[in-house]
Amino acid sequence: VQNPSLPNAQPNNSGSYTVTVTNTLPAGSCSATGITTVGIVPSGTIAVTPNFTLCQGAALNLVSNATGAPTSYSWTGPGPFNSTQQNPTINNVQAANAGVYNVTAYYTSPATTLVCTSTAASNVQVVGTSPTNVTANPNNLCQNGNTSITTVAPGAISYLVVGPNNFNSNLQHAPINNIQPASAGVYFVTSTFAIGTVSCITTGSAQVNVIPVNPVVVTPTVATCSPNNAQLSANSNGATGFSWTGPNSFTSAAQNPLLFSPTPAASGIYMVTASYNNGVLTCFNTNSVQLTVYPKLTFTLDAYKQMCYNTLLNVPGPAGATSYSWTSSTGFTSNSQNLTIPGIQPNQSGTYTLNVS
């Protein structure tokens, strides 16, 4: 045929093609020949990962798989990015590295100067992350106080807070109320960032210090007779100091103060405050003591009495006591204020003693 066609030409079709043109005339036939050289470049297709989604800071590995035998590659992308490697890597990708990456494979042949190409594209998405900054407000507090774990991580879609005493929360501002010493320690927060099904995390932490505030143990009621001394006492585990206040402007920094020869005017409520300290914060707890100082009743009785047989013996006791107790060497007893014996007999002679409270 005048213009033959080679469908689906392959590299082995390269070479010299000769055409002979023949003209038939009455006097005979004439012919002429011509030669053309055909060069077929062995090209192929190139395949890449069509979509990448990866975390900020990760390494982006661009991989191209080309059929045939390409002689070179060319990558272009955001940034602007370019590379002549078949499989280039971008370390520590950032949001600016997101976008479309195009790769071109180049095919050549010694049989021709023609350069054939094959192209493909990868769409890269970068999940933006930010540092997780965690604070405890306050981070030093007394037992039974309240604090909150606050997280700042712009762009995060969720949070996970874990800490001592099996604490966990999904709140950006996670409260801890009525805190106890077992809840002291480090609280860790994981912030999550995502695009589609790909999620990335950053973490942070904060320290919480809890000062134990223990009960203040006292003797709740102290009683003494004037002018005896009165002993006050207090105890509390972990306390670093004590402070007492009471009637008549009484103050003391002793843990167990002694009141020397108190009068009944010293009676009343005494308040003790225990302090607890971790070097940064001081906490307090209190308790109270009721002190009663009873007055001592001083009195005298007739030292000696002589009575006539069968007459009335009357010895007055002092007024103002709570109770009275008469005893005698003769076995006589009485709880009356006054010693009264009508018609006293000789066998009732003896020593009579009065005790008052």
Q: pLDDT of the chain along its 357 residues, tens only? A: 999 999 998 888 888 999 999 998 888 889 999 999 898 888 889 999 999 999 999 999 999 999 888 899 999 999 889 999 999 999 999 999 999 999 999 999 888 889 999 999 999 999 999 999 999 999 999 999 999 999 999 999 999 999 999 999 999 999 999 999 999 999 999 999 999 999 999 999 999 999 999 999 999 999 999 889 999 999 999 999 999 999 999 999 999 999 999 999 999 999 999 999 999 999 999 999 999 999 888 889 988 889 999 999 999 999 988 899 999 999 999 999 999 999 999 999 999 999 998
Backbone CA torsion sign across 216, 220, 226, 229: negative
Structure tokens belonging to residue 44: 């192929």
pLDDT on residue 112: 86
Please report, in angstroms and rounded to a whole number, the separation of the first and last CA atoms in the chain: 149
Interstrand relation of 51-55 and 112-127 (parallel, antiparallel or unpaired): parallel
DSSP code at position 247: T
In angstroms, rounded to a whole number, what is the distance separating the alpha carbons of residues 309 and 265? 48
pLDDT on residue 28: 81
The pTM (predicted TM-score) of the whole model is: 0.73
In angstroms, rounded to a whole number, what is the distance separating the alpha carbons of residues 140 and 74? 59
Strand, helix or coil at 142?
strand
pLDDT on residue 204: 98
In angstroms, rounded to a whole number, what is the distance separating the alpha carbons of residues 120 and 131? 35
Strands of 167-169's sheet in order across: 140-142, 198-211, 185-195, 158-163, 167-169
Residue 169 carries which side chain, given as an amino acid letter? Answer: S
Q: Which of 91, 99, 110, 149 is nearest to 15 (CA)?
A: 110
Total H helices, total E strands in the chain: 0, 33
Compute, in degrees rounded to 10, the torsion defined by CA atoms 26, 29, 34, 38. Answer: 100
- Residue the block writes with tokens 């038939």: 24
